[in-house]
Amino acid sequence: MGYAIAEALADNGAEVILVSGPSSLTVSHPAIKKISVTSAEEMYQASVEHFPQCDGAILSAAVADFTPVQVADQKVKRGKENFTIELRPTRDIAASLGALKKPGQIMVGFALETFDEEFNAKEKLRKKNLDFIVLNSLNDQGAGFQVDTNKITIIDKDNNITHFELKTKKEVASDIVQKLIEVVESL
């Protein structure tokens, strides 16, 4: 989804910084600068570094909520006992950028939800200082990961809710960019 949004933004005249985790996808538009990262921490660092110079951010990555406290540098062999992995909360990129957000900057977040979808998305919108949020539900067939389609709902900070039908990710990206243009034009 992030790559489709980056392409749609560039097609609409934006200069785009795409911070991407490991992916087989590529970018070809000359207005897109790709920064490759391999961990949630690297994504956090790149986002915090570049956001102050940007007009806004679209946070579409599904960053893990938790990170292992210890990372093995070699394979952990099977044993006869249970194995426990201690996790710590991953730094919240959206909340951090929301705290850094200056007047005139726009932030768009994503919420992937499985229950109480609209309520949870509205809470995230408020808590993270977003201008609008794109809600995905794993309950919608054809939406989510490993498919070329998505079905979204956009909720803005004025509580306007727009439901969209199942579309290709390219079409969904266009819908998101159109909403972003509307927000920019209203400033």
**pLDDT tens track of the chain, all 187 residues?**
899 999 999 999 999 999 999 999 999 999 999 999 999 999 999 999 999 999 999 999 878 889 999 988 999 898 889 989 999 999 999 999 999 999 999 999 999 888 899 999 999 999 999 999 999 877 777 776 777 888 999 999 999 999 999 999 999 999 999 999 999 998 8
Tokens at 160, concatenated: 């306007």
In a domain, 107, yes or no: yes
Range of the domain at 113: 2-69+83-186
164 contacts: CB under 8 Å, gap ≥ 6: 151, 152, 153, 154, 172, 175
In a domain, 77, yes or no: no
In a domain, 177, yes or no: yes
Give CA 65 to chain center in angstroms.
13
- Which neighbouring-strand residues pair with 156? 132
Number of domains in the chain: 1
pLDDT of residue 129: 97
> SS3 for 15?
coil
Round to whole Å and give the CA distance between 16 and 66: 28
In a domain, 75, yes or no: no
In a domain, 155, yes or no: yes
**CB neighbour burial string for 84-121, b if at least 16 within 10 angstroms, e if fewer:** eeeeeebbbbbeebbeebeeebbbbbbbbbeeebeebb
CATH number of the domain within which 132 lies: 3.40.50.10300
